Amino acid sequence: MKKIFILTGEPSGDKLASTVIAKLETKNSEIKYLSVGGSNLKKLGIRSIYDLKEITFLGFTSVILNIFKIRKKINQTVEEIIKFNPDVLFSVDSPDFTLRVAEKVKKIKSNIKTVHYVAPQVWIWRKNRVKKIKKFIDHILLLFDFEKKYFDEENIKNTFVGHPLIETKNNSRTIIDNLIPNDKKIISLFPGSRKSETLVLLPILISFIDLMNKKYKDYFFYFHATEENKNSILDLVKQKNIENIDVISDEKIKSDILSKSIFAVSKSGTVSLQICNANIPSIIIYKLNFINFMIFRMLVNVKFANIINIINNREIIPELLQSECNAQEIYKTVIYYLKNPDLIKKQLAECNKTLDGIRSKSSSSDESSTVLSNYLVS
């Protein structure tokens, strides 16, 4: 029986991996799996060697403070992979963790094929990283077509598979009428999947809701959570005793709630593509501590945090970062957009145009599972 070890580093990677493996299962059910994964892979019956929460760290200082713990986890993961002896190591995103593991595995057992899904964003970070990747990654699966040139230049085998979050519009509907209060306009809030993100952004978003509630009585706010961080978000929300808030983690319900929203406030990340694909206007927020932010500014090669803005090299979706990431600024920006429907219309048109330019012709999970299948028979 063929074997695949699935290596993720955070909940978003777990979600991406699960879509590929679910598709692969329809093509070949005779595969044994083991993982570092979360709730989505668990639903497919795939065991994780430890809890994903143990390795989700945000920011440079957090990584430095936990460097010995991270090294220990990397070595533990390598040992488990070697013991499992898979035909393919399928790593997903989180390059600072997954690629370090892949490099060590390849040095010990060069016959294990390594396929990495979600290319490191060399166009943002370290372009010299591409040369290093060539030594231990057999195949890179690309979310964006414009990434291809960076890997072609170094003759690294790659396939543009597209981004699963923008494959299709969501046409299926869950019965959610009982979740939505009558005569309420919905605003969706995305505080992030990492605990370290939610600790920073949750209090800011709750203060934003307080400001909204002081002036308006016709809004309802949904926090889009993961299974991993839902309880921690619920605990904080309950402490505030605000009635027009709910926390949701079911993927289908989240998708349906988003589709019925009039606006979204989201942390910077790939979720913004999902929001754009749902044709919902939005703003982006993010906040790092001062040291992390200064290191970030020194290392990055782009002016923007959001992929839509990066691709267009101009601000289409407003970004409230660092000092601007506060309740008052979020409130002012959201209300400004809600009072100016022409601005919303313009943003959505620009986002749809951008998505059309980067959307793959076929399914990302289908393309990616085909690549994995080929390595299982080669």
- Please write down the HEC assignment for all residues of 298-309: HHCCCCCCCHHH
More confident position, 335 or 241: 335
Task: Tell me if residue 202 falls in helix, strand or coil.
Answer: helix
- Whether 180 maps to a domain, the answer reads no
- Whether 178 maps to a domain, the answer reads no
In this structure, are 286 and 366 located in the same domain? no
CA–CA gap between residue 115 and residue 317 (Å, rounded): 33
- Please write down the HEC assignment for all residues of 95-151: HHHHHHHHHHHHHHCCCCEEEEECCCCCCCCCCCHHHHHCCCCCEEEECCHHHHHHH
In this structure, are 227 and 315 located in the same domain? yes
Q: State the CATH number of the domain containing residue 229.
A: 3.40.50.2000
CA–CA gap between residue 185 and residue 21 (Å, rounded): 37
State pTM to two decimals. Answer: 0.77
86 burial (CB, 10 Å; 0-12 / 13-18 / 19+) is buried
- Whether 9 maps to a domain, the answer reads yes
C-beta separation of 191 from 234 below 8 A: no
- Whether 172 maps to a domain, the answer reads no
Helix (H) or strand (E) holding 346: helix 341-358
In this structure, are 371 and 331 located in the same domain? no
In this structure, are 236 and 196 located in the same domain? yes
Mean pLDDT (the chain) is 88
Q: Tell me, rounded to whole angstroms, the distance of Cα 184 from its chain centroid.
A: 29
In this structure, are 278 and 291 located in the same domain? yes
How far is the first Cα of the chain from the last one, in angstroms, to the nearest whole number?
A: 14
- Whether 176 maps to a domain, the answer reads no
In this structure, are 238 and 126 located in the same domain? no
CA–CA gap between residue 240 and residue 159 (Å, rounded): 48
- Whether 224 maps to a domain, the answer reads yes
* Structure confidence by residue, pLDDT tens digits, 258-305: 999 999 999 988 889 999 999 999 999 998 755 555 555 555 656 788
Mean pLDDT of 102-116: 98
What is the per-residue pLDDT for 57?
A: 57
- Whether 174 maps to a domain, the answer reads no
In this structure, are 323 and 213 located in the same domain? yes
- Count Cα atoms within 13 angstroms, Cβ side, for 151: 26
Task: Tell me if residue 82 falls in helix, strand or coil.
Answer: helix
Is the predicted pLDDT of residue 60 greater than 50, yes or no?
no
**To which residue do tokens 């090294």 refer?**
71
Q: Which two tokens stand for residue 26?
A: 């329809």
In this structure, are 109 and 249 located in the same domain? no
Is the predicted pLDDT of residue 165 greater than 90, yes or no?
no
- Whether 226 maps to a domain, the answer reads yes
In this structure, are 341 and 192 located in the same domain? yes
More confident position, 67 or 188: 188
Is the predicted pLDDT of residue 61 greater than 50, yes or no?
no
In this structure, are 140 and 9 located in the same domain? yes
In this structure, are 110 and 13 located in the same domain? yes
**DSSP per-residue string spanning 11-80:** HHHHHHHHHHHHHHHHH---EEEEEE--HHHHHTTPPBSS-GGGG---SHHHHHHTHHHHHHHHHHHHHH
Amino acid (one-letter) located at 101 = V
Range of the domain at 308: 185-358
Number of folded domains in the chain?
2
In this structure, are 90 and 225 located in the same domain? no
